[in-house]
């Protein structure tokens, strides 16, 4: 059975309907979604900003996850979201009182979607409240914080998952399948290009190191770091890196504008990557093997993801990434399902170790060994 058929069947679409099924999975109205027989993951979103808004919208298409709670410092946003999504007053919190969520039996998990530097304390507070945690990328701003978050969740006996939506994306999974099946031959090279032109308010948190933990590497370059690992199927053992900055007013000390970095992997694969806040439409992965290649462009944006290999265009279903992610996370939390590519805290810790090594290599000009 091909993966498109499997995917549509996962959505509950019958064999007859499959004959007429469009390539695009259009988002049906939430009321038409068939709720799964499995236990539904009841989620509170913390941080009602731009990505939180996207996740909430996407969750209207979920079959196993449901938005039931809100955590925000802005009462007017809470009111608007309550009426839009039908959220009960008793499931709404602010940043001062959300520890009380421990007394709320109607919330299973909190999805932390706030500025990067806040994730550490917020995740630990959620863990102490006894709720499962889903945290946005980058999970933390350095490996030490990431380790503390993992430890806190382990101690509390709750799951810690990270919003790595690409780990559930069908084109991405097909390339991984091809690589694992040997269809590309022995892998030799990966290229990852991740960037966009940063515009907008010069005072936004992404340009403030205290809240972001860094610049383009933390925000967008991490897609090439993480992508290199799932495309190659190994973790790098060394990095070299070079930083360039054209605008020292916009990108202050500690906020990297552009970093080129190279990585070496145990099998001898080499990677060449670019992370930037100063170039448009950079969202491309290229994986080269002795028997074939795969190119993804766009590789990580909200889609539609497109890709081709030496065998032709990839034709997997187009999905709403955040909806699939949340349904899959329900299965990970409740059924112990093992995803094809992990989305746990250890996965995020690896990425943060690599990012720290890239920053060190850019600062020192030296090749930095990574122990993962």
Binding stretches for ligand NAD (CB under 6 A)? 47-52, 73, 113-116, 118, 136-137, 163, 165, 205, 211, 219
Residue 18 near residue 2, CB atoms below 8 Å: no
Apex CA 337: angle with CA 336 and CA 341, to 5°? Answer: 125
DSSP-assigned letters across all residues of 181-193: TTTT-SEEEEEEE
Residue 72 CB, nearest distance to ligand NAD (Å)?
Answer: 7
Sign of CA dihedral 225, 228, 231, 233: negative
Nearer to ligand NAD, 187 or 354 (CB): 354
What is the C-alpha to C-alpha distance for residues 331 and 335, in angstroms, rounded to an integer? 5
Closest residue to ligand NAD using C-beta atoms: 49
Question: 353 Cβ partners below 8 Å, 6+ apart?
Answer: 143, 370, 371, 372
Q: Which of 66, 137, 159, 350 is catalytic?
A: 137
Annotation marks residue 223 as catalytic: yes
Nearer to ligand NAD, 146 or 184 (CB): 146
Nearer to ligand NAD, 189 or 205 (CB): 205
Residue 182 CB, nearest distance to ligand NAD (Å)?
Answer: 31
Annotation marks residue 137 as catalytic: yes
**Counts for the chain of helices (H) and strands (E), in that order:** 12, 15
Q: Which of 223, 230, 293, 359 is catalytic?
A: 223
Nearer to ligand NAD, 8 or 113 (CB): 113
Nearer to ligand NAD, 269 or 323 (CB): 323
Kindly list the distances between the CA atom of residue 290 and the CA atoms of 3, 124, 265, in Å, as whole numbers in the listed order.
Answer: 25, 45, 16
> Three-state SS for 304?
coil
Residue 86 CB, nearest distance to ligand NAD (Å)?
Answer: 20
Residue 261 CB, nearest distance to ligand NAD (Å)?
Answer: 19
Task: Write down the H helix ranges in the chain.
Answer: 3-10, 15-19, 50-59, 75-85, 119-128, 143-156, 170-180, 209-212, 216, 222-232, 321-335, 345-364
Residue 117 CB, nearest distance to ligand NAD (Å)?
Answer: 9
Residues designated catalytic: 137, 223
């Amino acid at each position: 059975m091909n993966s498109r058929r499997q995917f549509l069947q996962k959505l509950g679409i019958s064999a007859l309907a499959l004959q007429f099924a469009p390539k695009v999975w259009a988002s049906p109205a939430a009321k038409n979604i068939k709720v799964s027989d499995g236990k539904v993951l009841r989620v509170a979103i913390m941080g009602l900003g731009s990505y939180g808004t996207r996740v909430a919208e996407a969750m209207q298409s979920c079959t196993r996850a449901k938005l039931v709670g809100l955590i925000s410092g802005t009462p007017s946003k809470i009111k608007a979201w309550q009426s839009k999504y039908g959220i009960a007053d008793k499931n709404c919190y602010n940043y001062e009182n959300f520890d009380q969520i421990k007394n709320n039996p109607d919330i299973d998990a909190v999805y932390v979607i706030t500025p990067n530097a806040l994730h550490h304390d917020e995740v630990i507070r959620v863990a102490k409240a006894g709720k499962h945690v889903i945290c946005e990328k980058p999970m933390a701003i350095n490996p030490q914080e990431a380790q503390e978050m993992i430890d806190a969740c382990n101690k509390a006996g709750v799951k810690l998952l990270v919003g790595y939506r690409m780990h559930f994306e069908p084109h991405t999974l097909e390339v991984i399948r091809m690589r694992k099946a040997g269809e590309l031959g022995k892998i030799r090279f990966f290229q990852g290009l991740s960037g966009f032109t940063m515009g907008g308010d010069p005072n936004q948190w992404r340009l403030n190191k205290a809240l972001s933990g860094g610049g383009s590497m933390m925000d967008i370059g991490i897609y090439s770091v993480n992508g290199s690992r799932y495309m190659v199927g190994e973790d790098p053992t060394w990095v070299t890196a070079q930083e360039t900055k054209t605008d020292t007013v916009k990108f202050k000390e500690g906020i990297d504008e552009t970093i080129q970095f190279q990585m070496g992997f145990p099998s001898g694969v080499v990677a060449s990557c670019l992370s930037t806040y100063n170039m448009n439409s950079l969202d491309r992965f290229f994986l080269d093997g002795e028997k074939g290649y795969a190119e993804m462009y766009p590789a990580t944006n909200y889609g539609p993801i497109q890709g081709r290999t030496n065998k032709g265009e990839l034709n997997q279903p187009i999905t709403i990434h955040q909806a699939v992610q949340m349904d899959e996370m329900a299965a990970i939390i409740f059924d112990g399902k093992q995803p094809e590519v992990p989305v746990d805290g250890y996965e995020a810790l690896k990425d943060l170790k690599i990012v720290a090594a890239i920053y060190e290599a850019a600062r020192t000009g030296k090749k930095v060994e990574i122990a993962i």
